[in-house]
Amino acid sequence: MRLLVRQRRRCDRCASGRSKLNVILLAVYAVFVWYLAARYRRRWQGFVAVALGVLAIWLVVGVLNAGDGRTGGALRSHQLLTLLWAEMIIVAGIGLFLVCLPRHRGELDCPKCGYDLTGLDPQGLKCPECGRLWTGLGSGLADDRSKRTYTPIPTEPRRRTKGL
């Protein structure tokens, strides 16, 4: 009798360890799909990555629904299915959001770090973020130079206000 109790306790420990590992694997899987979605945003590869990621979860849900009861009981199976449905919805939603983000930088952005240089004088301009010399204007911006007002880059530190 004691042997059966010990074996059951060991199995419970193994099952709880496996469930923690499964939850961690679900998070790692979601991050992997989101990485591919962000890496290939606004390209067909990004949409395919999200679609395949959601399809894989949907197939796992289908296999568990069609299982013959060997998944560990009705309550545990129901909890797992609920977790997988939630995972599928979250992966699809955030994945589609990441795929739809813009891919290109603006014409007045630093080519090295992406800092927005709008409003700064383009002659001899160095990026205030990374220090790279800005080499030129975009295609149609040379004619706009006289119409723009530019803010000079401060060369001295800001003054501290007293009384705050």
pLDDT digits (tens), the chain, 164 positions: 555 555 555 555 555 556 677 778 999 999 999 999 999 988 899 999 999 999 999 998 888 887 655 545 554 577 888 889 999 999 999 999 999 988 766 677 777 777 777 777 767 777 888 888 877 654 344 445 555 666 666 677 777 777 65
Q: Does residue 163 sit within a domain? A: no
| Of 77, 99, 121, the domain-final residue | 99
pLDDT at 155: 72
Amino acid 119: pLDDT: 77
CB 127 within 8 A of CB 115: yes
107 contact partners, CB below 8 Å, separation of at least 6:
137, 138, 139, 141
Flag whether 162 is in a domain: no
Residue linked to tokens 């799909």 = 33
Tokens of 144: 């706009």
Residues 36 and 83 in one domain: yes
Is 8 found in the same domain as 71? Answer: yes
Residues 131 and 80 in one domain: no
Q: Write down the pTM of the prediction.
A: 0.55
- CA 50, distance to chain mean position in Å, is 12
Q: Confirm whether 67 is domain-assigned.
A: yes
84 and 21 assigned to the same domain = yes
Among 61, 84, 99, residue at a domain's last position: 99
Domain finish residue from 79, 99, 119: 99
What pLDDT was estimated at residue 29? 95
Establish if 10 belongs to a structural domain: yes
The boundaries of the domain holding residue 145 are 105-156
Same domain, 17 and 95: yes
Number of domains in the chain: 2
Q: Note whether 30 and 91 are same-domain residues.
A: yes
Domain membership of residue 79 (yes or no) is: yes
Residues 64 and 19 placed together within one structural domain of the fold: yes
My answer on whether 70 and 17 are in the same domain is: yes
Tell me: do 91 and 119 sit in the same domain: no
Find out whether 144 and 108 touch, Cβ atoms under 8 Å. Answer: no
- pLDDT, position 32: 97
